Structure 1
Amino acid sequence: MKILIIDEMHLSIIPLLEDAGYQVDYKPTIERKEIETIIEEYTGLIIRSKTPMDKPLLEKAVNLKFIGRAGAGLDKIDLKYLERRDIKLFHAAEGNRDAVGEQAIGMLLSLFNHIAKADQEVKKGIWKREENRGEELQGKTFGIIGYGNMGGAIARKLSGFDVNILAYDKYKSGFGTFHVTEVGFRQLQEEVDILSMHVPLTPETRNFLTMEVLEQFAKPFYFINTARGEIISFDTLNEAMDKGIILGAVLDVLENEKFSTFTKAQKAAFEKLASRHNVVFSPHIAGWTHQSYEKINQVLVEKIKGAGF
């Protein structure tokens, strides 16, 4: 069985696959045109997110039996076409869920305690204590939307912080534990002090957090997004912060992550967001650790082997 890898991966994936009996072609710099010319040779394809797996490309993959997605997001894959062709899809969210949980909490603590600001001030010889007085996580109600691998991981990481954890998932039930209370969306809106998003990008979740939805929250809250930026627009974030609905934001993902392609309106809205002292950014690196880079491979290969390919 021949497997084509079209994105850069931790190189441990090659011996893992070869030891399992697969023939591996590792082509991390390959472009779409070349993929289209050779994809018919392969029964397996391993990807990240560089190349969309759309119908025109997949139609050329006449012998394809499975795709392995090294990561969690599936928004660039034509899932309906895969189902129609009975092409199996494996993804490895288990491999980076702990990294996502750590990143989200780390960024929130940085926001609460003004760590980035205070660090820069001290390095410049500025010693401001009162201006950098922090906020405690303990005692707050932490709301999670989406209780899959990522939502479950952040809940586990929070278990030692003495917080009240509420979780809402439209498509799951019965997941409550002694430290996580399963709730409906309305209860979440009534009680949260912190809201963390852990949903995939779908037509349903794109622009899910509108001003209409946000205005229904009972009290101001802090916002964390390590899922997908398109869940909430720059404009909505700015308006919600201007109105005091969102007290501060932790953003690992953006509505548009390619700065060079910003529209004029996006550029202005992002610059306004970036000028705020109560917003902490990172460049889509939640889950992007040295350890998760390797763990994703292990999870993915085990799933492929377990399916009998």
Structure 2
Amino acid sequence: MIILNRKVLIIDKMHDSIFNMLEQIGFSADYRPDASRQEIEAVVGDYEVLFLRSKLSVDEAFLRKAGRLKVVGRAGAGVDQLDVETLEQRGISLINAPEGNRDAVAEHAVGMLLCLQNNLLKADAQVRQSIWDREGNRGTELSEKTVGIIGYGHMGQAFARRLQGFGCRLLAYDKFRQGFSDELVQESSQEDIFEQADVVSFHFPLTEENRGIINGAYLSRFKKEILLINTARGEILPLKDLVEKLKSGKVRGAALDVLENEKLHQLSAEEKENFDYLVQCDKVLLSPHVAGWTHESYRKINAVLVEKLKNLLY
């Protein structure tokens, strides 16, 4: 059990429900979503609990100013902006909330998959231009297809459950989990997925080890022409390699909720060239990192964080 003071510093915008939820376990919130990093660093030393989304990196320099900190709560799933090693060294508990937005991510991924399988983006644009091309927009059913899921944590499992009714075969690989085969999914090696998958969807967190791992060499290992879905982190998939495989046909379509560089007004010349190709390609579907960002998940994330904070206390 950790004994804490009764205030939480919140430095990102969160659903209003967070205040009542914290009150129910005896906490009050100091809500500073508009504060700059400098302003936050000036006050963080007074707090033992910090909640944030993606406003700033919790690195060693920041933590030196947070001498009393005992708990960091990430209002979301990914913790790539947090120096996990330093948090552990300082004895600071880290909690995050993948349970809060896993359903949102799963539904978004399925929606993107169905959109690409059935050419809905292209068909909609054509009909709006009075082009009635039935044959050119003939869809492909998911039934009897093999879907490979890379990463079988909260997000991967939720995605698999959403696909259960489509009659497709599900293969899953997770570097850190074994023995999870059941009536829904078959535990597989990456080699099995390379050999058999028609669709591949990525559901693992970003680390320095896997940054850029879904590169040209990786994509070349798939035996079939694949449809690719990335709702994880953009930095795992170099866009230049994806563009190359789209052009060659190895990737027959891509659904991307995340990009290697999401600051679209700060792209390098090469990044801009690759992004422009994705924009004009009717085999690509894009969304602005919103897969886990539904009206429902906004509140669910709060509930998960507060429950985990409560469990640290008692």
TM-score range, shorter chain: over 0.9
> Once the two structures are superposed, what CA deviation does each residue of 1:203-239 show, in whole Å capped at 9, x if it has no partner?
1211111222221211111100000011111100011
> Match of 1:65, as an amino acid?
K
Per the normalisation by structure 2, the TM-score is 0.96
> 2:55 maps to what in 1?
50
Q: Tell me whether 1:280 sits opposite 2:285 in the alignment.
A: yes
Shift of 1:127: 2.1
Counterpart mapping for 1:250-265 below 5 A: 250-265=255-270
Tell me the SS of whatever aligns to 1:3. strand
Tell me the SS of whatever aligns to 2:193. helix
Q: Tell me whether 1:298 sits opposite 2:303 in the alignment.
A: yes
Q: Please give the alpha-carbon distance, in whole angstroms, between the structure 2 residues aligned to 1:178 and 1:168.
A: 16
> Once the two structures are superposed, what CA deviation does each residue of 1:42-75 show, in whole Å capped at 9, x if it has no partner?
1100000111111111111111110110000100
Shift of 1:176: 1.2
> Match of 2:134, as an amino acid?
R
> 2:205 maps to what in 1?
200
Shift of 1:109: 0.6
Corresponding residue to 1:111 among 110, 116, 124: 116
> 2:17 maps to what in 1?
12
Tell me the SS of whatever aligns to 1:209. coil
Shift of 1:121: 2.5
Q: Tell me whether 1:189 sits opposite 2:194 in the alignment.
A: yes
Q: Tell me whether 1:28 sits opposite 2:33 in the alignment.
A: yes
Tell me the SS of whatever aligns to 1:106. helix
Runs (4+) of structure 1 exceeding 4 A deviation are none
Shift of 1:291: 0.5
Unpaired stretches in structure 2, ≥5 consecutive residues: 1-5
Q: Please give the alpha-carbon distance, in whole angstroms, between the structure 2 residues aligned to 1:21 and 1:210.
A: 48
> 1:82 maps to what in 2?
87
> Once the two structures are superposed, what CA deviation does each residue of 1:241-291 show, in whole Å capped at 9, x if it has no partner?
122211100000000000111001100111112211100000001011000
Q: Please give the alpha-carbon distance, in whole angstroms, between the structure 2 residues aligned to 1:205 and 1:14.
A: 37
> Once the two structures are superposed, what CA deviation does each residue of 1:81-117 show, in whole Å capped at 9, x if it has no partner?
1000110000000000011000001011111112122
> Match of 1:197, as an amino acid?
F
Q: Please give the alpha-carbon distance, in whole angstroms, between the structure 2 residues aligned to 1:240 and 1:14.
A: 48
Identity across matched positions, percent: 50
> Match of 1:230, as an amino acid?
E
Tell me the SS of whatever aligns to 2:22. helix
Q: Tell me whether 1:101 sits opposite 2:109 in the alignment.
A: no
Q: Please give the alpha-carbon distance, in whole angstroms, between the structure 2 residues aligned to 1:197 and 1:297.
A: 25
> Once the two structures are superposed, what CA deviation does each residue of 1:94-151 show, in whole Å capped at 9, x if it has no partner?
0000110000010111111121222233233332211211111111000000000000
> 2:163 maps to what in 1?
158
Q: Please give the alpha-carbon distance, in whole angstroms, between the structure 2 residues aligned to 1:207 and 1:299.
A: 30
Q: Is the 8 A contact 1:2 1:22 kept in 2?
A: yes
Shift of 1:153: 0.4
> Match of 1:66, as an amino acid?
V
Corresponding residue to 1:137 among 136, 142, 150: 142
Q: Tell me whether 1:227 sits opposite 2:232 in the alignment.
A: yes
Quick check: 202-211 or 220-229, which moved more? 202-211
Tell me the SS of whatever aligns to 1:7. coil
Shift of 1:188: 1.1
> Once the two structures are superposed, what CA deviation does each residue of 1:172-196 show, in whole Å capped at 9, x if it has no partner?
1011111200011111111100000
Q: Please give the alpha-carbon distance, in whole angstroms, between the structure 1 residues aligned to 2:297 and 2:278.
A: 30
Q: Please give the alpha-carbon distance, in whole angstroms, between the structure 2 residues aligned to 1:272 and 1:123.
A: 22
Aligned length: 309
Q: Tell me whether 1:239 sits opposite 2:247 in the alignment.
A: no
Per the normalisation by structure 1, the TM-score is 0.98
